[in-house]
Structure 1
Amino acid sequence: MNVNIQTVNFNADRKLIESINHKMEKLATFQDRIIGTDVYLKLDNIVHNIKDKIVEIRVQVPRHSFFVKTTSKSFEESFENAFDSLVNQVKRRKEKLIA
């Protein structure tokens, strides 16, 4: 699976990129027809020095698209929350298709 990771207003370190790639590979166990995945890493409120970390994940499957956006004080925490939410969406969608 090809994971497209984009960073906005900063450069991510290799450890964060590898962690995201490794975790996104696990998504294939829940949905085997993934067309593409995009992960966006953003900094928020740069002017005010708050710098919340925003993670957005978009996953395309045939005839459907999943999208999750989370915010927290670290990219790792934001990604974990977004990934958990994404897994729940994928599972619910799969259950609807089976039922």
Structure 2
Amino acid sequence: MNVKIQSIKFDADRKLLDYVEKKAAKLERYFDNIVETEVFLKLENSQDMENKVVEFRLKVPGNDLFAQRKGKTFEEATDLCIDVLKGQVKKFKEKLRGV
């Protein structure tokens, strides 16, 4: 699986990039036909403490799965996205089996 990570409005450090890449790779446990994963790390201009936004887009054959979450840290938002995507991947697999 190819993982592309883009940080928007800031420069992400290597530790954060490695963390996100490791978490994205875990999604292959649930579905091994993930073609590509795009991750966008964004900083929102707000007074809210939860101003870190992480977006995941999984490209799977015939569909794209998407999750976006906010958190106090990028790691927290990444974990929330991964939890959402696990459910989406499981539903997608069930849909494929039913066809």
Both structures adopt the same fold (TM-score exceeding 0.5): yes
| 2:34 alignment partner, SS class | coil
Letter in 2 for 1:89: Q
Structure 1 stretches of 4+ moved >2 Å: 48-51
Aligned residue for 2:36? 36
- The separation in 1 between residues aligned to 2:89 and 2:11, in whole angstroms, is 29
Give the Å deviation of 1:50: 3.9
What is the TM-score normalised by the length of structure 1?
0.91
RMSD: 1.3
Aligned residue for 1:93? 92
Listed as ranges, the gaps of 5+ residues in structure 2 are: none
Give the Å deviation of 1:49: 4.6
What is the TM-score normalised by the length of structure 2?
0.91
Letter in 2 for 1:22: K
- The separation in 2 between residues aligned to 1:49 and 1:12, in whole angstroms, is 21
- The separation in 2 between residues aligned to 1:97 and 1:9, in whole angstroms, is 38
| 2:26 alignment partner, SS class | helix
| 2:31 alignment partner, SS class | coil
Letter in 2 for 1:44: E
Give the Å deviation of 1:97: 1.8
Q: How many residues align?
A: 97
Listed as ranges, the gaps of 5+ residues in structure 1 are: none
| 1:11 alignment partner, SS class | coil
Q: Deviations over 1:7-26 (max 9, x none)?
A: 00001111111111111111
Q: Deviations over 1:44-67 (max 9, x none)?
A: 11xx45460000000001101000
Q: Give the share of equivalent positions with the same residue, in percent.
A: 43
